[in-house]
């Protein structure tokens, strides 16, 4: 290995090692402070107890089935945002007047705290998975519409001209040129939408005490099972991070060159 390559390799793993070491040192210090009685263990359980409760939470609290329940809700919301979001974006792109009239409204909806309307959704859909899915859907719809619109509007003129030179019909022009050209940008919208959906779905599960992983945290907190609550929160964070990484990889696969 050359000196430059070695330096590059060290430059890559050293910061990552520092990050991990900081996290480990933080939890070790916390454990020490709790064992020394300087931090109340009934407020912050020792990290060793949290780690030990992982197995119990996984087996006794049916985490796997809860995970699939939340995943199912995300999948349902994801299918809905993909279908309605892309259709909405295509519709707005097709009718320019409609786009000029409502694009700012869609952007405003993206900034609106839709999740706060969850009591309203509970009244309409009851305390059921549909309430959770619909909130995920409504909160995640605007980025898909806006990104679809951006993707279609950003199709390179030269591609459209190639289509015209081949005398393509409107439908052919859309399916053979515009849609494939806009697909990577559309996926950015779907990715953002899925992230919004997951955040809202887990949050509403926690708030209405129904469903999968969000409910698990609420259940354990109400039972005052502190190590279990912390372990469940760690598990949800882990699931969220894996979900985001997976979506990022999928996006990179779909758009290898920026």
Partner 1 sequence: MAETGRLTRTAQAAPMFSPVTLLRVAIILALLAGWELLSRSGWLYRDVVPSWLAIGKALGDLLFHADYYFHLGVTAAEIGAALAIGGISGLAVGIVIGANRFLAKAYEPYLYYLGPTPKIIFFPIMIMWFGVGPGSKIALGTLSCFFPVALSAAAGMRQIDKVLIKVGQSFRANTWQTVMKIYLPAMRHPIINGIRLGLGVALIGTLLAETKLSNKGIGFLIIQAYSVFDMPRMYAMLIVLFVLAIGANALVGRLGGLHTIRR
CB 106 within 8 A of CB 112: no
To which residue do tokens 């887990």 refer? 202
Q: Of 230, 188, 234, 236, which is closest to residue 82 (Cα–Cα)?
A: 188
Min dist CB 189 to partner 1, Å, is: 15
How many Å apart are CA 49 and CA 31, to the nearest integer? 10
Q: Interface with partner 1 includes 8 (CB under 8 A)?
A: no
Would you say 168 or 195 has its CB closer to partner 1?
Answer: 195
- Please pick, from the candidates 10, 52, 83, 101, the single residue that binds partner 1 as defined by CB under 8 A: 101
How many Å apart are CA 89 and CA 107, to the nearest integer? 12
How long is the chain?
A: 258
- Please pick, from the candidates 10, 15, 28, 56, the single residue that binds partner 1 as defined by CB under 8 A: 15
CB 135 within 8 A of CB 121: yes
How many Å apart are CA 3 and CA 181, to the nearest integer? 43
Min dist CB 47 to partner 1, Å, is: 14
Alpha carbon 127 to chain centroid distance? Answer: 23
Write each residue from 41 to 80 as x if it is in contact with partner 1 (CB under 8 A), else as -, in one continuous string: --xx------------------------------------
CA-CA-CA-CA torsion sign (119, 105, 243, 10): negative
Min dist CB 188 to partner 1, Å, is: 14
Min dist CB 164 to partner 1, Å, is: 27
Scan residues 169-198 and list those touching partner 1 (CB under 8 A). 195, 198
Min dist CB 163 to partner 1, Å, is: 28
- Please pick, from the candidates 8, 10, 52, 124, the single residue that binds partner 1 as defined by CB under 8 A: 124
- CA geometry: angle 129, 193, 176, nearest 5 deg: 120
Q: Interface with partner 1 includes 81 (CB under 8 A)?
A: no
Would you say 39 or 183 has its CB closer to partner 1?
Answer: 39
How many Å apart are CA 89 and CA 149, to the nearest integer? 5
Point out which residues bind partner 1 (CB under 8 A): 12, 14-16, 18-19, 22-23, 43-44, 97-98, 100-102, 108, 111-113, 115-120, 122-124, 195, 198-200, 202-203, 206-207, 214, 217-218, 221, 226, 229-230, 233, 236-237, 240-241, 244-245
């Amino acid at each position: 290995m050359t000196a430059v390559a070695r330096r590059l390799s060290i430059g890559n793993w050293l910061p990552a090692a520092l990050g991990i070491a900081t996290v480990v040192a933080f939890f070790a210090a916390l454990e020490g402070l709790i064992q020394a009685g300087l931090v109340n263990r009934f407020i912050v359980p020792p990290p060793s107890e949290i780690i030990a409760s992982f197995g119990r939470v996984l087996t006794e609290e049916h985490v796997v089935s809860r995970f699939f329940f939340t995943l199912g809700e995300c999948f349902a919301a994801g299918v809905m945002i993909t279908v309605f979001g892309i259709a909405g974006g295509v519709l707005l792109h097709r009718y320019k007047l409609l786009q000029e009239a409502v694009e700012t409204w869609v952007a405003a909806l993206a900034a609106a705290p839709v999740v706060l309307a969850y009591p309203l959704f509970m009244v309409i859909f009851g305390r059921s998975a549909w309430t959770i899915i619909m909130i995920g859907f409504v909160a995640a719809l605007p980025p898909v519409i806006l990104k679809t619109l951006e993707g279609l509007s950003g199709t390179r003129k030269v591609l459209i001209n190639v289509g015209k030179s081949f005398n393509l019909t409107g439908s052919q022009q859309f399916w053979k040129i515009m849609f494939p050209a806009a697909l990577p940008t559309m996926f950015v919208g779907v990715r953002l939408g899925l992230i919004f959906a997951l955040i809202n779905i887990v949050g509403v599960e926690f708030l209405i005490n129904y469903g999968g992983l969000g409910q698990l945290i609420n259940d354990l907190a109400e039972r005052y099972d502190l190590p279990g609550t912390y372990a469940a929160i760690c598990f949800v964070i882990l699931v969220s991070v894996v979900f985001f990484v997976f979506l990022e990889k999928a996006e990179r696969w779909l758009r290898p060159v920026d």
